[in-house]
Structure 1
Amino acid sequence: MDWTSFHDLTDIEGFEEWLNFTVSDLVQVASVARTLEGREVRILRIADPSTPGPKKKIWIEGGIHAREWISPAVTTYLMHQVAVSPEWRDILKVTEWYFVPVANPDGYAYSFSSPRARLWRKNRSKNGPSARCKGVDLNRNWNLKWGVGASGNPCSETFKGKEPFSEPETVGLGRAMQRVGDIDVFITFHSFGQTVLYPWGWTRDPPANVKQLSRLAKKFNEGVKAASGGRTEYEIGGSGPLYGLASGASDDWAYGALQVPFSYTIELPDTGSYGFLLPESEVSKVVVETNSGVNCMIGFLTNLGPCARNNRSKFLGFRG
């Protein structure tokens, strides 16, 4: 596995198994759903059993939209760094992590199947007898204010499904999150736009703890700017005000249904020049910068590392 190119689902699942084998004391792999086409939706839990709890719980979701290939790349890189990098060792002692590298395995596999399928967004559910309009937008299918800004047309890219939680992927992931319970930070990686979005998506009204959400989001931006030498910067704001109203997203459900205090959608680079077709030459830069941003967020939250609240030194040149 490398982070200089995009990898298909077979490569990613092989990497998950390799990580589980080589760092078996820290990594556990579980399947939480079986898709229509028979693929597993997998979660990797990373935690240090040698340190006592309670610990902050961090949930990282990648690949819910098939065409956004940079999302699984970032998620797998971050997963690898948390498990093996000395930069994360102190933080790992006080946290436990749940990674979903590819939340939409059927759609992701299909997007690799041919050039015509490259920009596929949804899963591959059958919407009635016709095969012409397959798929549900899994990020419009979560059960919170379901239906706002989403489509009821099965042919639409934003088709919300027949009902909330109609899809095995969202059902399995939702139940797994409920079992974990008391999640402190939820992040779902998307592309593109270079923004850190917090709830709500279904209204322009700000959430109750908007100041705290914005403050932690700024720490992500600080880490990214440090790793990029100031060349990369993210816009921060509410999903609804910045991107238009849309409900049924996983970050809103985590925040509203599970009461996760810090819930974000991070729209990865770029800002539109390449869009969903980010070239492979950009992968290594994006994964390193994003890892640094998340490290700064969680370091601030746990008061550890260069972004700790009691660390007054500048972290110029810090790379997570």
Structure 2
Amino acid sequence: MMNLARKLIDDYGSDSTIKKVLDSYDLYIVPTLNVDGYVYTWTNDRMWRKNRMNYGTACTGIDLNRNYPTGFGGTGASSNPCFETYHGPSPISEVEMQHVTSFFLNKVAAGQTFQLFIDFHAYGQLWLYPWGYSRVAPIVNDSDDLLNAANDAARALKSLFGTEYFVGNSARDMYPAGGASEDWGYDELKAKYSYIIELRDEGKYGFILPERFIEPTGEETYAGVKSLFQTLLNDPNPIQS
């Protein structure tokens, strides 16, 4: 995310696509949402996933990517506080989620529309779109555009270092995850293009990605995101159908 922000600034004066996007859209970048959980990975447990909230249970932490309201408590989310995918006591129970969702929804209430929402994760090399909460959920109206844009982005990403990404529907093609971000981005934020992107790698190193892969991961991800920007600029109706 830091690389993405830096590249947008650096390329504004030399890249016509980036200039047009930044002249046409407001971009909001959250470098990391799970701040206390991130700190905990450096101080106590390198593989910690959840935040550090405890509601008086035997185990600490809520999986923030199961705490969104769309599909909350569904398949792929756990009601057990000791599980890695514990969804929390209620939708948007976590202060992180309260702030980030209210920030964006207040923009909507003020008249802004959102065309693109991306939640970056690791790992798996996956580019996934709604719905994620159920394999039997109705196909979203914009599924063809979501798929085509993601395929274009994956090709652009691959063109740099040959990295292959799987593109597909979150629940049907991978696994259900109730209360996840890509569903909220499409359902409540009304972003036509809403994705979860799982970055490198496919499992050899997993969450402990060696430092030498960080820069190329950033470069190729930027290429994929730039392709999505081009899709927005070319789309005659970048609003949900």
TM surpasses 0.5: yes
Whether the 8 Å CA contact 1:195–1:235 is kept in 2: the answer is yes
Alpha-carbon offset, residue 93 of structure 1: 1.5
**Higher RCO (C-alpha under 8 Å, 6+ residues apart):** 2
Equivalent residue, structure 2, for 1:176: 103
- Contact 1:127 1:154 (8 Å CA) reproduced: no
SS in 1 for 2:119: strand
Tell me which residue corresponds to 1:45.
none
Cα offset, 1:244, TM superposition: 1.5
1:216 to 149, 157, 161: 149
Structure 2 equivalent of residue 135 of structure 1: 61
Alpha-carbon contact 2:51-2:63 (below 8 Å) kept: yes
Residue 279 (structure 1) aligned with residue 205 (structure 2): no
Q: 1:241 offset after TM fit, Å?
A: 1.6
Q: Which amino acid aligns with 1:125?
A: M
Partner of 1:26: none
Q: How many Å apart are 1:89 and its aligned residue?
A: 2.4
- CA contact 1:94–1:302 (8 Å) conserved in 2: no
- Choose the corresponding residue for 1:207, options 116, 137, 140: 140
Distance of 1:91 and 1:223 partners within structure 2: 17
Distance 1:243 1:120 in 2: 23
Unaligned segments of structure 1, at least 5 residues: 1-74, 310-320
TM-score (norm 1): 0.68
Distance 1:258 1:202 in 2: 16
Give the Cα separation in 2 of the matches to 1:192 and 1:241: 19
Which among 79, 82, 94 is matched to residue 5 of structure 2? 79
- After superposing on structure 2, the runs of 4+ consecutive aligned residues of structure 1 that deviate more than 2 Å are 86-91
Offset, 1:83: 2.2
Check conservation: 2:115, 2:232, Cα contact below 8 A. Answer: no
Q: How many positions carry a matched residue from both structures? A: 225
Distance 2:19 2:94 in 1: 37
Deviations 1:187-244 (A, max 9, x none): 000111111000011122432211010011012112112222xx11211111102332
2:193 pairs, out of 262, 279, 283, with: 262
Local SS of the residue matching 1:188? strand
SS in 2 for 1:93: helix
**How far apart are the structure 2 equivalents of 1:93 and 1:119?**
39
- How far apart are residue 122 of structure 1 and its match? 0.4
1:61-100 equivalences under 5 Å are: 75-85=1-11, 86-87=14-15, 88-100=18-30
- Partners of 1:138 and 1:292 lie apart in 2 by 27
Q: Residue 197 of structure 1 aligns to a residue in which SS?
A: strand
Once residues 170 and 37 of structure 2 are traced to their aligned partners in structure 1, the CA distance between those partners, rounded to angstroms, is 24
Q: How does 1:22-37 map to 2 (within 5 A)?
A: none
Counterpart position of 1:102: 32
The 2-side partners of 1:284 and 1:194 are apart by 15
Relative to the length of structure 2, the TM-score reads 0.89
Corresponding residue for 2:160? 227
Structure showing the higher strand proportion among its residues: 1
Separation (CA, whole Å) in 2 of partners of 1:187 and 1:92: 17
Q: Distance in 1 between matches of 2:30 and 2:152?
A: 23
Secondary structure of the residue that 2:43 maps to in structure 1? coil
